[in-house]
Amino acid sequence: MSGRPDLRGMDVDELVRWAAELRQPPYRGRQLARWVHGHGARAFDGMTDLPASMRQQLAQRAALTCLRVLHRTTSADGSTTKYLLQCEDGSTVESVWMRYADGRRSACVSTQVGCAMACTFCATGLAGFGRNLTAGEITDQVHVMRLDQGEDPTHVVFMGMGEPLANLDATVRAVRLLNAPYGLGIGIRRITVSTVGLAPQIRRLAKLRLGCKLAVSLHAPDDDLRSQLVPINRRYPIAELMDACREYVEAVGRRLTFEYVLLDGVNDSPDHAARLAALLRGMLAHVNLIPWNPVPNLPYRRPRAERVRQFARVLRSAGIPATVRVERGTDILAACGQLREAHTPGRRPVRLAAAGAR
Catalytic positions, written as ranges: 94, 336
What gap in Å lies between CA 53 and CA 56, rounded to an integer? 5
Count the helix, strand and coil residues of the chain and give each as a percent rounded to the nearest 5. 40, 20, 40
- Smaller CB separation from ligand SF4, 24 or 92: 92
Residue showing the smallest CB distance to ligand SF4 in the complex: 125
CB of 111 to ligand SF4, least distance (A): 9
Range list of β-strands (E), the chain: 68-74, 80-86, 92-99, 105-108, 112-114, 129-132, 155-158, 191-195, 213-217, 256-262, 285-291, 322-324
Shortest reach from residue 117's CB to ligand SF4, in Å: 4
Q: Do residues 340 and 333 lie in contact, with contact meaning Cβ atoms separated by under 8 Å?
A: yes
Nearer to ligand SF4 by Cβ, of 118 and 249: the residue is 118
As measured in angstroms, the least distance from the Cβ of 130 to ligand SF4 is: 12
- By CB under 6 A, name the binding residues for ligand SF4: 115, 117-119, 122, 124-125, 161-163, 196, 337
| Least distance in angstroms from the C-beta of 86 to ligand SF4 | 19
Nearer to ligand SF4, 122 or 312 (CB): 122
Amino acid identity of residue 198, one-letter, is L
**Pick 183 or 337: Cβ nearer ligand SF4:** 337
